[in-house]
Amino acid sequence: MSDALPLRDVRILAVSQLGAGPWALSLLSDLGADVIKLEPPGRGDEARYVPPFAEGGDSLYYQALNRGCRGLTLDLRHPRGQEVFRRLVPSCAAVYNNVRGGEPARLGLTYQALRAVHPAIVCCSLSGFGQTGPRANEPGYDFLVQAYTGFMALTGEPEGPPVRSGVSVVDFSAGLVSVLGLMIALRRAEDTGVGGEIDVSLYDTALSMLNYLASWSASRGVSPTRTRASAHQSVVPAQTFETADGHIVVMCMKEKFWERLCERLGRPDLSTDPRFEGFERRSENREALLSILETEFRKRTNQGWLDLLRGVVPCGPVYGVEEALADEHADARNMLVGVDHPAFGRLVQMANPIKLSGVQPSYRRAATLGEHTDEILRDLGGFDGSEIADLRRSGVV
C-alpha cells in the first residue's frame, strides 16, 4: 500500500453486506484504508451469489462493491467469535456495520459494547430504518425505501404507475452519508480520544433527499407529483424532449439559458412572449410552451441539437449504459479502471469519483471468502498457529 494514500493509517472492521455499506467502504479502501470485511463462515455475503456471472462463491456484483477489502470469516454469534472480535477491535479505528435494527447490539458491534476495550473506537451503523422507531427491526432495502419515502410516487409518467429509479440511488447515497459520518467521528476521536456511535439509515437519507419538495409540502401544503417527460417540478423548460432519432435533456435553470435557447431555436419571439417571461409565468403556462418546444425539438436529430446547443444551453443525450461508458468525457476523467481477478480475468470497474491532488487510488480486487483470515488473526489479534487451528476446528472462523 502506497504511503501516499491519505487513509493508510485507518483500519475498519466491517460487518457489511450487499450494496450500500460495501460500496462506500470500497471508496475508502481505494484511498488507503485497511477495510477488513467480516463474513460468516460457510456462505459469506449474499452478494457473492448475485447473478449474472456468479460462480465459486464470487460474482462480478460482489467484486464491483467490495474492491480492495481484505476478507475474514468469523462467526459473531458464537461466544468464541465474540472473544476473537474483541481482540481485533483495539487495532482498529472503527467498526462499521449495515445490519438491521437491534442486530448491532446483539452482535456486540455498538460503542456501548466496545468502549471498555477501545474507548476511541468509532462504531457506525447503516440500516434500512435506523436504530430507533417502529420499523427499526424490519429489513430495509433500496426499493422498499424508495416506496416509503415518496421517490416512486414522484418517478414515471403522470398516467403510469409509480416507478423506482433504475439505479439504487438510496443505497449509494446512504452509503456515502454513512462514511461521511464515519470520517467526521474519526476526526472527533483524534481530538478527544473518545469514539462514539453513528446511526445512519436509508430511510433518513432518502427523506432528507426530498429536500425542497418536502419543504414545499410541509410548509405550504404543495403536493409534488409525477411530471411528464421527467420534467422539473417548477422550472420550465427543464426536461426530456423527443428528437428526430432519440431523446435529449435540456435544462434552462437560469433565465439566460432560456434566452439562449430561444435564440438557437430561431424563435426569439418566445423570449418576448408575455406568457413565458420569467420562471413563474413559464410554469403557469407550461403546457402551451411545451407544445411549441416539443414540435421544434422533433425537427433535428440528437447530434444536430448537441451541435447547436452544447456549451450554450445545458443539454445532453439520453444514453444507454454502454454509451455512457464509451463517452469521451468518461475516458478523460479516467472513470474506468481495470482490476485483475484470478478467475474472472481482467475486470473493468468504475473508478473512485474522488479526485485528490497528488493521490493515485489503489485499485485491488475484493477478497475471496476468508482469504486473509489467518494473517489478520495473527497480525492484529496475536493468535498463534495452534489457536487459529482450534478456531477453525470449532467453526468460529
Choose, from 45, 75, 171, 199, the residue flagged as catalytic.
171
DSSP letter at 312 equals: T
**CA–CA separation, 368 vs 259, rounded Å?**
57
**Nearest residue to 309 via CA among 376, 262, 271, 269:** 262
φ/ψ of 108, rounded to 5, equals 70, 35
How many other CB atoms sit within 10 Å of the CB of residue 374? 17
For the purposes of burial, counting CB atoms within 10 Å of the CB of 45, is it exposed (0-12), middle (13-18) or buried (19 or more)? buried
Q: Cell numbers for 167, please give them.
A: 439505479
Determine the Cα–Cα distance for residues 63 and 71; give it in Å rounded to an integer: 12
Let me know: does 255 contact 278? Beta carbons within 8 Å: yes
Burial of 351 (0-12, 13-18, 19+ CB in 10 A): middle
- Distance between alpha carbon 394 and the CA centroid of its chain, in Å? 37
Residue 60 in grid coordinates: 462480478
* CA distance to 127, 253, 265, 268, per residue, from 306 (Å): 42, 18, 12, 19
Q: Where do runs of H (alpha helix) occur along 44-88?
A: 60-65, 79-88
Give Cβ neighbours of residue 263 (< 8 Å, ≥ 6 apart).
Answer: 271
In the residue annotation, 171 being an active-site residue is answered as: yes
Q: Which residues share a beta bridge with 337? A: 349
Plot region of 68 (φ>0 → left; ψ -120 to 50 → alpha; else → beta): left
DSSP notation for 156-181:
S-TTS-----SS-HHHHHHHHHHHHH
Residue type, 243: T
Catalytic residues: 171
